[in-house]
Structure 1
């Protein structure tokens, strides 16, 4: 894909606009400090805490009232049988409480467990059964109509690359606008930080991408 200089996405400009939006239209900035439960890194940053939607791109916005460290102990191996009648095409279970994604292969011999980001608020959360309908390596990103309505200064399109909020790989679900995808912003993992999608570390979405197929079952609960 050839780059169009006139429409090139400026990460710095987008982050600045998002920060300005947070300062102007959201609750006041909150200083958050702690240990990332998945990387062990100390984190300190200024977060605009939104009462509702938080973007999948731009500054990290999280529910600052949550203690993310407890999620480590919430992880547990699931038995697939209470959730699926069969493992045909493989199965993915997303546990929004533990912020974890479980994967079982079709023959049941391969089980994986990955930490995830989850939607920031209940109104952005969708639960139930769906399936993978498309797999994309190097996805592009565009805001949904609702995102654009709330944030008209956001770009209409972000090409694949390090500024893309969907990371290196994405799995399209049968629900419109919903994806399981990677992220270049590792601070989001283990937190309520997405605008509806389920995010994984890039190295984990690569694994899941290679393990799944179109038709893989997905249950989000």
Structure 2
């Protein structure tokens, strides 16, 4: 003879089993997806948090932006003595080159500093961030006091999907939620790419990568002969 406690436990288990069968049968009859039921002594599996995805590239009116062919990411012929992995910012032509070696580079269309806000020099990537927060520097706040003092990262953030910080400067290579500004001189000195392109570049470079920013006066010939 079963102990009363064991008997009650067995009856409870049978009752739970019958209830589960009944619920599943009802769901199937109603055309609904079967429910997942877990015994009281089991923990349901934890669902992974959804990954933040970059929204489709569109302008402020929500209209999809199609970049001109010359500004789309592509492998091009590019003669340079710089080592593979070096980033070269061609400010006047609004291109970013990632040197690949063997006379080739990955070229990205970019947005650069507007008149009076371009700069040049050699820096290195000192920090990388995904969906970075944005804290406008004091110099920008002084010019545009209406700006927020801090903005959390996300699709609406001006820094876009990725950011690579340049040395001890206030400048960054970053994404943008305004892809229609690519190919233009519009920023306060930062280098901007589409979110798709900045994510691609981000995956190819590391902290310590050398970044050469060419001045506006050094206008190079467009080496836009795509290799594929």
TM-score using structure 1 length: 0.61
Q: Which residue of 2 aligns with 1:96?
A: 91
Query: Residues 79 and 104 of structure 2 are in contact (CA less than 8 Å); yes or no, is this contact kept in structure 1?
Result: no
1:116 counterpart (105, 110, 135): 110
Pairwise CA distance, 1:38: 1.8
Q: Which residue of 1 aligns with 2:177?
A: 184
Q: Which residue of 1 aligns with 2:130?
A: 137
Correspondence 1:200 to 2:193: yes
Q: For 2:102 and 2:160, how far apart are their aligned partners in 1?
A: 28
- 1:141-186 Cα shifts (integer Å, max 9, x gaps): 1111011112222110111112210000000110421100000111
Q: Which has the higher strand share?
A: 1
CA RMSD of superposed structures (Å): 2.7
List runs of 5+ in structure 2 lacking aligned partners: 1-59, 215-228
Counterpart of 1:183 in 2: which secondary structure? Answer: coil
Q: Which residue of 2 aligns with 1:158?
A: 151
Q: For 2:145 and 2:132, how far apart are their aligned partners in 1?
A: 22
Q: Which residue of 2 aligns with 1:48?
A: none
How many pairs does the alignment contain? 149
Query: Residues 37 and 190 of structure 1 are in contact (CA less than 8 Å); yes or no, is this contact kept in structure 2?
Result: no
Pairwise CA distance, 1:111: 2.9
List runs of 5+ in structure 1 lacking aligned partners: 1-14, 16-35, 41-68
Structure having the higher Rg: 2
Moved over 3 A (4+): 107-110
Q: For 1:108 and 1:172, how far apart are their aligned partners in 2?
A: 28
Query: Residues 78 and 105 of structure 2 are in contact (CA less than 8 Å); yes or no, is this contact kept in structure 1?
Result: no
